[in-house]
A and B are shown apart, each in its own frame.
Chain A
Amino acid sequence: QVQLHESGQGLVKPSETLTLTCSVSNVSISQGYFWGWIRRPPGRGLEWIGHIHQTGTAYYNSALKSRVSISMDTAENQFSMTMISPTAADTAVYYCARGGYYDPFDYWGRGTQVTVSS
């Protein structure tokens, strides 16, 4: 069973950089598939952030593209998301998942709460 687990800052200031990591178990992220990040702001629906392929090619939500970067660490079997200049509007539960592009998100982490506040 593929398992994903998000970790990172639960509270971040607007002047800081938000970094979240997704640790993947029972499958190698270098063996194919896309790996993505999705978030759910309070009281709102799911929002796709971006996804990355094993080749390192990444795709981003155009609304977030200027502030977000997704990378992979195949040695640690992890992938990460970095967001610069977060605002209160970025407060959300952040999920990592396997999937993206034309693949559905078939395995998800349980999510991690991120709050942006000074």
Chain B
Amino acid sequence: IVLTQSPDTLSVSPGERATLSCRASQTLNRYLAWYQLRPGQAPRLLMSDAYRATGVPSRFSASGSGTDFILTISSLEPEDVAVYYCQQRNYAGLTFGGGTKVEI
């Protein structure tokens, strides 16, 4: 399964909403996860389906089903500058999207 993320780069002003897209080449019947990767840091699990991981701020939310999924940052903070990846785990062969870079 191929995951296509868009846009490649998203420029958002602090306090504004950021909407990241992840489209699957086949219907996903189960799970999609989202990760945040900041430079020099370990990747961080943000969302598992529509559920926030422990410690993730409430400004992050995820939605979608089938082939189209969205990660929303409701009010961008400076520390949200990072690359965001979606990942499907519906099949034994896991795949990640190509990533969306969020910048201020």
Contact = CB atoms under 8 A, between A and B. Distances in A.
Interface string B36-80: 010011111100100001000000000000000000000000000
A38 B96 CA distance: 10
B5 to A, nearest CB: 8
A104 B33 contact: yes
Contacts of A108: 42-45
Contacts of B33: 104-105
Given A62-B93, A103-B89, A106-B53, A95 B42 contact: yes
Given A46-B43, A110-B41, A104 B31 contact: yes
B60 to A, nearest CB: 14
For the residues of B in contact with A, the DSSP-based class is loop
Interface in A41-71: 44-48, 51, 59, 61-62
A95 B43 contact: yes
B100 to A, nearest CB: 10
Contacts of A14: none
Interface of B: 30-31, 33, 35, 37, 40-45, 48, 53, 85, 87, 89, 92-99
Interface of A: 38, 40, 44-48, 51, 59, 61-62, 95, 97, 100-106, 108-111
30 contacts: A38-B43, A38-B96, A40-B37, A45-B96, A45-B99, A46-B43, A46-B85, A46-B87, A46-B96, A48-B87, A48-B93, A48-B95, A59-B92, A61-B93, A95-B42, A97-B43, A100-B94, A102-B89, A103-B89, A104-B48, A104-B87, A105-B35, A105-B43, A106-B45, A106-B48, A106-B53, A108-B42, A108-B44, A108-B45, A109-B42
